[in-house]
Amino acid sequence: MNVMGGQRVLASTSGTTAPISTCGPNGSDLWASRQLESCLRSYGLFESAAETERRKNVLSRLNQIVQKWVREVSAKKMPKQSAQLMAGKIFTFGSYRLGVHTKGADIDTLVVAPRHVQRSDFFDTFPKMLSQIPNCEYVRAVRQAFVPVIKTKIEGIEVDVVFAKLALNNIPQDLDLSDGSLLKNIDEKTVLSLNGSRVADDILRLVPNRESFCLALRAVKLWAKRRGIYSNVLGFFGGASWTLLVAHTCQLYPRASAATLLQKFFELFRQWEWSKPVLLRRNSDDDPSLGFTVWDPQKNGRDRHHLMPIITPSYPQRNSTYNVSKSTKTIIINELIRGSQIINNIISGDVPWDSLFESDENFFIKYEHFIVLLVSPDAQWMGLVESKIRILVQKLERHTCIRLAHVNPKCFTGSRTHTSLVLRSRTVCAPKDNAKTQTIMWFIGIEFNKGQGINVDLTRDFQSFVQMVTNVGKSGNFFKPEMTCDTKRVNWKELENYLPTEVFKTMETAKSAKICGKRGLEYTNSSPKKGKTALKTQLIQVYKVN
């Protein structure tokens, strides 16, 4: 089925349990779903027809470049006549493949090539060909990433391109990546590259109602981003994990409307027994002779320590939430409980859909103690530090006096004197032209167990963290002496030295008035607490939250 065509299709599924309910939607369910879609459109999540067409054009041009590139590489390794018959193929994955991409979002793509085209060919010669495309703004190769990738921007659309070579003499244009035999005689990095597309296709095969699935997933992703729990790299859930949870909800309620799916999503996972993994299908059909490691806590000791396992459906099955820590688990569950309370009020007609998507402006009110990471604004260095913050959180959690270490996924930019900060809408902030005078800041809120931890010495944790990221930067051959990462422990009052005056004063007023509920649970069973709207307006003005 064409998801973007808006058709409603019930696909065959192979979930691990029978559906809880096969009831279809009634009139009020459909009305609630229409209201939900209207709310999501007010956030600008849906792109225009013109932008959709522009994406298709970019993918078409990218495909032309891939075919030309494969033939040119082949010509160096075989007779020219044979090389002209060689081909590659482009697949999409991620939000674009699922049909839930937002306006301005990037496109995740996979280039599949025949056996004689090497990964080194991809990184050595493909970027140059990309750069020759008209309206190509930049091309960046990231060889050291967990899944090596080339990033580019064409006609204003960002595209991530990963590579996989298969043990095939040529790539047929009807190639189906769900064929497990394609995984024979390939390496681990190739499997990782292939699995983005394989997982997306499996999800679409396993959800029974794509239209409702897509709308519910858009809502969940917006909610998670607004509540600050959308970041795999920081130990929260990433897009794949939230997608798998919504897909599992669809399997349990195969005919439900999007609004009902959303309500059941929160009801289901607010009380999920996380000793049990979330699975979309059983693994009995997989071929163990392929030899890749799959998620199996009975055989793999490391898997037994995963706190909230959500397993990808495609072989080799992996846990998409391996970064989750004790703290992020607590925060995610609290937000699921909050979301469940609010959506019940929405369905009852007590509050509007907007209530679910209110952003969390209360981070600096929740905690009395903080750790500030001050990082020099080099893009590669910033990305490295951000990718390791979860390790610092895990170090902090080892102290028995620390109940919670909550990293704010939004980073701040400011001068070295910390007098002018602007909250960015993206997790990693791009430095401005005067980057030499700037610093990037991440904040970690610390909650101690009652009567403990006030005098705990965290110096060793800070030093080992800084040394670790420095060593990784050096091993990646990009570290420079001017790349710095400082860590400081501050109390709430000392935030005045880091936050803009107007932000701090607003927080101070809110904190003293106790307008915001403890740990972000601002809602009662009936309605939001009075006075929160005025505070929200103030915070949006001073934070400039997008």
Alpha helix ranges (H) inside 398-458: none
For residue 239, what are its two tokens? 């897009």
For residue 197, what are its two tokens? 């597309």
Which residue positions form the known binding site? 93-95, 102, 106-108, 160, 221, 230
CB neighbours (10 Å) of residue 46?
15
The rounded distance, in Å, linking the Cα atoms of 56 and 154 is 12
Which residue positions form the known binding site for Mg(2+)? 106, 108, 160
Please give the torsion angle defined by the CA atoms of residues 193, 202, 92 and 409, in that order, rounded to the nearest 10 degrees.
-70
Residue with tokens 């706190």: 307
Catalytic residue among 160, 201, 360, 378: 160
- What b/e readout covers 78-114, taking b as 16+ CB neighbours within 10 angstroms? eeeeebeebbbbbbbbbbbbbbbbbeebbbbbbbbbb
Catalytic residue among 96, 230, 253, 367: 230
Q: Give strand pairing partners of 491.
A: 369
Please give the torsion angle defined by the CA atoms of residues 242, 248, 252 and 258, in that order, rounded to the nearest 10 degrees.
40
What burial class does residue 142 get, using C-beta atoms within 10 Å of its C-beta: 0-12 exposed, 13-18 middle, 19+ buried? middle
| CA distances to 2, 9, 158, 177, 256 from 207, in Å | 14, 10, 28, 18, 12
Catalytic residue among 108, 201, 303, 461: 108
The rounded distance, in Å, linking the Cα atoms of 259 and 31 is 9
Q: Is the peptide bond before 528 cis (omega within 30 degrees of 0)?
A: no
DSSP state, residue 253: S
Is 95 a catalytic site residue? yes
Catalytic residue among 33, 95, 257, 340: 95
Is 221 a catalytic site residue? yes
Which residue positions form the known binding site for ATP? 93-95, 102, 106-108, 160, 221, 230
The rounded distance, in Å, linking the Cα atoms of 125 and 258 is 45
CB neighbours (10 Å) of residue 59?
18
402: Cβ contacts below 8 Å, ≥ 6 apart: 396, 446, 447, 448, 449, 453, 456
Evaluate the CA torsion angle 130, 132, 138, 142 in order and state its sign. positive
450 half-sphere exposure, CB direction, 13 A CA radius? 0
Catalytic residue among 106, 151, 286, 322: 106
Evaluate the CA torsion angle 74, 75, 79, 85 in order and state its sign. positive
Pair type for strands 369-375 and 438-448: antiparallel
Residues identified as active-site: 95, 106, 108, 160, 221, 230
